[in-house]
């Protein structure tokens, strides 16, 4: 009897080891899941999405959110992947004044239609949670608009030595090349480098996709700064934006991947599924798309 039990235990143990090896994909195991670390993973319906329950306090029309992966909303626009002069979103809608900063209310601020629907739903949910200090300060920007904006920044940077210039070059560089030589303004080539760290040349801005927005609060005095990261709105967005299909596009410490400094105010619509994967996978859009 003892002998029989021992043999049964042995067989069970062996079976467990084999099963574990298979599951873990150990060398020689039969199961190869082909899984790669999240940072290099291509788009897929991941475990994050499948296990995520979405609940809403307000009446969110789920069918209006992009709930599956859709190539139109996974469009990559960056300095490495510029959209060029010809690209314009298929359907733009003009955003309502009530969600815009006061100084933009005479302008026509537009956003891609599905992204706009998701934005309204997100802002309504935020308000229901008691977060009301938030406005949109920028959305779709066409090629020509970005062309003018970029050139304006390059011009402005040459009028002195900005905080951004100090941040980009470091104190020593500015001291040696400018202060010690009695030069008070950046050269054009240095200005272009500084501007490149916070603004895209025409054709390379994500705002040309019509899928992203910049948020601002009343306390920020019209300046888009990292102060946004300390606001209630940011805290809310950090936890909830993915449920509406938005991602923080330029996260802190990921400058080497995105090519942009940390922008806590810049949110990009990718659709709910991709946003959920990106959020829980701690990815950037570049990594998610395998670039």
Report which DSSP code applies to 185. S
CB of 212 to Zn ion, least distance (A): 6
Scan for tokens 């010690």, then name that residue.
180
Residue 27 is encoded by which pair of tokens? 């060398």
Count of Cβ atoms closer than 10 Å to residue 117 Cβ? 20
Task: Let me know if 257 is exposed, middle or buried by CB neighbors in 10 A (0-12, 13-18, 19+).
Answer: middle
- Between 56 and 87, name the residue whose CB sits nearer to Zn ion: 87
Residues 218-257, one symbol each (x = binds Zn ion by CB under 5 A, - = not), give ----------------------------------------
User: Distance (Å, rounded) from C-alpha 266 to C-alpha 219?
Assistant: 17
Question: With the CA atoms of 176, 178, 179 and 183 taken in that order, what torsion angle do they form, in degrees rounded to the nearest 10?
Answer: 150
Contact 49, 66 (CB under 8 A): no
- Between 114 and 249, name the residue whose CB sits nearer to Zn ion: 249
- Between 157 and 214, name the residue whose CB sits nearer to Zn ion: 214
268 binds Zn ion (CB under 5 A): no
Helix (H) / strand (E) containing 171: helix 171-177
User: Among residues 157, 263, 273, 287, which one is catalytic?
Assistant: 263
- Between 214 and 287, name the residue whose CB sits nearer to Zn ion: 214
Catalytic residue list contains 263 = yes
Residues 201-220, one symbol each (x = binds Zn ion by CB under 5 A, - = not), give -------------x------
Stretch that binds Zn ion, among 64-72, 78-86, 149-157, 260-268 (CB under 5 A): 260-268
Report phi then psi at 213, rounded to 5.
-135, 150
CB of 115 to Zn ion, least distance (A): 13
Residues facing residue 248 across a β-bridge: 267
CB of 141 to Zn ion, least distance (A): 9
- Interacting residue with Zn ion among 49, 135, 266, 272 (CB under 5 A): 266
Q: What is the set of active-site residues?
A: 263
Where does this chain bind Zn ion (CB under 5 A)?
214, 266
């Amino acid at each position: 009897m003892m002998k029989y039990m021992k043999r049964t235990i042995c067989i069970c143990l062996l079976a467990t080891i084999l099963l574990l090896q298979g599951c873990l994909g150990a060398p020689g195991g039969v199961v190869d899941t082909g899984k790669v670390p999240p940072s290099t993973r291509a788009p897929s319906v991941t475990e994050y999405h499948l296990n995520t329950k979405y609940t809403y306090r307000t009446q969110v029309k789920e069918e209006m959110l992009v709930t599956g992966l859709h190539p139109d909303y996974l469009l990559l626009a960056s300095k490495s992947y510029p959209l060029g002069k010809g690209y314009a979103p298929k359907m733009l809608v003009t955003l309502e004044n009530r969600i815009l900063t006061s100084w933009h209310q005479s302008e026509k601020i537009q956003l891609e239609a599905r992204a706009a629907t998701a934005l309204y739903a997100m802002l309504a949910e935020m308000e229901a949670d008691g977060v009301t200090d938030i406005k949109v300060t920028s959305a779709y920007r066409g090629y020509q608009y970005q062309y003018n904006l970029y050139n304006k920044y390059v011009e402005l940077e040459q009028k002195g030595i900005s905080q951004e210039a100090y941040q980009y070059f470091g104190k020593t560089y500015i001291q040696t090349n400018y202060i010690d030589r009695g030069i008070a303004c950046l050269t054009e080539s240095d200005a272009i480098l500084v501007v490149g760290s916070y603004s895209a040349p025409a054709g390379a801005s994500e705002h040309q996709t019509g899928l992203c927005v910049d948020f601002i609060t009343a306390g920020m005095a019209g300046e888009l700064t990292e102060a946004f990261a300390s606001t209630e709105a940011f805290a809310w967005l950090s936890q909830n934006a993915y449920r509406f299909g938005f991602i923080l596009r330029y996260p802190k410490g990921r400058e080497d991947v995105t090519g942009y400094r940390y922008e806590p105010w810049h949110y990009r619509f990718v659709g709910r599924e991709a946003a959920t994967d990106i959020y829980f996978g701690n990815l950037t859009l570049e990594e998610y798309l395998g670039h």
